[in-house]
C-alpha cells in the first residue's frame, strides 16, 4: 500500500517570483512560484521523499540520476548572465491547481502587496511522481508560502516618479 505523501517545509530561501502566488497562470491555470536555496541547504528530507516516491512509482531499481527533480542548480550561462544571484544556488519550482495560503511569520494570511520576489520565505510542499512523454519525474505541489523576512526586490515596477516630476501647488498650469 502506498504511503501518503509527506508535507515538508523547505529551508528559508529567496522567493524567486510572486506573479502566480495570488493569480493562476493564464496558460496552465496553475498557481506557482519558485524558491532559491543555497546549495548548502539541508534538503535531506526532500531528497528522501523524492527517492521514496520515485521507487514507489517506477520500481526499486529506478536510476535516481535519471529522475527529473523539482529543484536544480542553474548552470546555463545565459540565465546566469541575466540573473547572477542564481550562481551556486538551487531553484525549486512548485505549483498547485488551487489557491494556497500565503502567510507572515505569525502564520496570518497576507496580501499580494505584502510579499515580493526577493523576500525570504519557506514553502510547504508535498511531492508526487509521474511520467510524461517518457520522462520520469517527481514534482512539487505548493501547499503554502510563509514570508519570513523582507528582502531586496528582484524586480521593481515603475512608479509615477519614474515618469513625472513633482508639480508644486503654486506652479502655473502650463499644460
108 is a domain residue = yes
Q: What is the CATH number of the domain that holds 18?
A: 2.40.50.140
- Residue 165 has φ and ψ, to the nearest 5°, of -95, 165
- Can you give the pTM of this predicted structure? 0.83
91 is a domain residue = yes
Identify the pLDDT of residue 118. Answer: 93
Domains identified in the chain, total number: 1
173 is a domain residue = no
CA 19, 22, 28: angle at the middle one, nearest 5?
Answer: 70
Whether the CB-CB separation of 127 and 45 falls below 8 Å is answered with no
d(CA 115, CA 107) in angstroms, rounded, equals 14
| pLDDT tens readout for residues 32-44 | 999 999 999 999 9
Sort 161 into a burial class: Cβ within 10 Å, 0-12 / 13-18 / 19+.
Answer: exposed
Identify the pLDDT of residue 3. Answer: 66
Instruction: Give the CA distances from residue 31 to residues 11, 14, 121, 143, 149, in Å, rounded to whole numbers and listed in that order.
Output: 21, 18, 16, 10, 22
175 is a domain residue = no
Average pLDDT over every residue of 58-83: 92
51 is a domain residue = yes
Identify the pLDDT of residue 150. Answer: 95
Instruction: Give the CA distances from residue 109 to residues 104, 112, 145, in Å, rounded to whole numbers and listed in that order.
Output: 6, 10, 10
95 is a domain residue = yes
Banded model confidence at residue 85, pLDDT cuts 50, 70, 90: confident
Banded model confidence at residue 170, pLDDT cuts 50, 70, 90: confident
Q: Which domain holds residue 50?
A: 8-162
45 is a domain residue = yes
169 is a domain residue = no
CA 139, 151, 24: angle at the middle one, nearest 5?
Answer: 40
Identify the pLDDT of residue 137. Answer: 96
Amino acid at each position: 500500500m502506498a504511503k501518503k505523501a509527506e508535507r515538508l517545509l523547505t529551508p528559508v530561501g529567496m522567493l524567486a517570483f510572486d506573479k502566480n502566488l495570488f493569480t493562476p497562470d493564464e496558460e496552465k491555470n496553475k498557481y506557482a512560484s519558485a524558491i532559491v536555496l543555497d546549495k548548502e541547504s539541508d534538503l535531506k528530507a526532500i531528497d528522501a521523499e523524492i527517492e521514496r516516491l520515485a521507487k514507489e512509482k517506477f520500481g526499486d531499481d529506478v536510476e535516481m540520476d535519471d529522475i527529473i527533480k523539482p529543484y536544480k542548480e542553474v548552470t546555463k550561462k545565459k540565465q546566469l548572465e541575466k540573473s547572477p544571484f542564481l550562481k551556486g544556488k538551487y531553484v525549486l519550482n512548485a505549483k498547485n491547481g488551487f489557491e494556497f495560503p500565503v502567510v507572515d511569520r505569525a502564520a496570518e494570511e497576507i496580501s499580494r502587496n505584502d510579499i515580493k520576489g526577493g523576500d525570504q520565505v519557506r514553502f510547504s510542499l508535498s511531492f508526487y511522481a509521474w511520467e510524461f512523454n517518457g520522462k520520469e519525474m517527481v514534482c512539487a505541489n505548493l501547499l503554502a508560502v510563509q514570508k519570513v523576512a523582507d528582502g531586496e526586490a528582484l524586480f521593481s515596477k515603475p512608479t509615477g516618479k519614474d515618469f513625472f516630476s513633482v508639480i508644486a501647488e503654486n506652479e502655473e498650469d502650463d499644460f
